[in-house]
């Protein structure tokens, strides 16, 4: 009898230990997968930061210290002369780029918001066809419209400069802004709000201004960041529609790095200076960017 009790006890203990063994295996597998994941993330981070390191350390080197053999090494003599030279060249270009990117981003976002509201909530015959034609503009490359666009501005006697670029970027930014806002309004805005506004006698414009705009902050953050970055970094439109004396910062950066003898230290400092405005925009508005982007991605 005692032998049977002992055997039963050993069997019960084995049954109780088996799940614990499986749990230990699962915990070990989870730790290994987490370690591999973190290692891959660290590897990707190093790959991304290597160019940043080269640009940063080169911007503090003297002209004689910027050789191919010393691109990985720290500066022998730390100097701010490349930053001073780059700022002296880029300062007027930076001012023109700010006067270009801010209005272009705001205007194209407002137009895209109005289009997105109408296409999402105020349905009319042929709305899907109109939306398809608007989206078609997203797939037209810059190179395909350069010469026709320049010819059009010349025929209209519009002077090449910042105003010309504002018009071009506003038109080119309407498709992507319309897409973002249409998806945003189709997902976020309840139908009951629109119906209540209609019952209260609000028309299309009143509904949009008094009800829709106040709840569109996340959508505007997405389009403003997108448009500001696109306009700020544009080079092709600036090359075709402006001149060196009235162009944006991308032309100034090209002028800084041009010539027979390139000052790599000043060029790297100029690249960092021109990246600060877009970086600042992401820092200030970044916490709303992902939320607004995902809100508009839930429904198409």
Q: Where do the structural domains in the chain lie, given as residue ranges?
A: 2-58, 81-295
What share of the chain has pLDDT > 90, as a percent? 30
pLDDT (tens digit, 9 = 90+) per residue, 57-98? 988 988 777 766 567 788 888 889 989 999 999 999 999 999
Helix or strand holding residue 127 (H, E): helix 127-136
pTM over 0.85: no
Average pLDDT of span 50-60: 89
**147 vs 298, residue with greater confidence:** 147
Average pLDDT of span 15-30: 58
CATH of 81-295, one of 3.40.50.620, 1.10.1740.10, 1.10.3720.10, 1.10.357.10: 1.10.3720.10
pLDDT (tens digit, 9 = 90+) per residue, 222-274? 899 999 999 999 998 998 888 888 889 999 998 887 766 778 888 899 999 99
């Amino acid at each position: 009898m005692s032998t049977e009790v002992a055997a039963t006890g050993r069997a019960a203990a084995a049954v109780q230990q088996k799940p614990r063994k499986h749990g230990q295996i699962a915990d070990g597998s989870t730790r290994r997968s987490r370690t591999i994941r973190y290692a891959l993330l660290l590897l990707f981070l190093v790959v991304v930061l290597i160019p940043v390191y080269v640009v940063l350390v080169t911007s503090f080197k003297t002209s004689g210290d910027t050789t191919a053999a010393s691109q990985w090494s720290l500066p022998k003599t730390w100097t701010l002369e490349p930053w001073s030279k780059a700022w002296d060249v880029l300062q007027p270009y930076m001012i023109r780029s700010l006067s270009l990117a801010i209005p272009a981003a705001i205007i194209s976002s407002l137009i895209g918001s109005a289009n997105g509201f109408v296409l999402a909530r105020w349905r009319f015959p042929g709305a899907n066809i109109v939306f398809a034609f608007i989206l078609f503009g997203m797939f037209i490359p810059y190179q395909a419209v350069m010469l026709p666009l320049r010819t059009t501005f010349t025929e209209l006697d519009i002077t090449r400069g910042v105003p010309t670029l504002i018009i071009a970027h506003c038109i080119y930014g309407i498709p992507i802004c319309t897409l973002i806002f249409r998806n945003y309004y189709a997902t976020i805005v309840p139908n009951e709000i629109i119906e209540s506004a209609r019952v209260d006698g609000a028309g299309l414009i009143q509904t949009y201004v008094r009800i829709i705009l106040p709840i569109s902050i996340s959508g505007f953050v997405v389009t403003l960041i997108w448009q500001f970055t696109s306009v700020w970094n544009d080079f092709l439109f600036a090359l075709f529609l402006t001149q060196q004396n009235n162009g944006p910062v991308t032309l100034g950066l090209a002028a800084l790095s041009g010539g027979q003898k390139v000052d790599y230290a000043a060029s790297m400092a100029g690249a960092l200076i021109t990246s600060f405005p877009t970086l600042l925009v992401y820092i200030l508005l970044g916490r709303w960017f992902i939320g607004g982007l995902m809100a508009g991605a839930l429904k198409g």
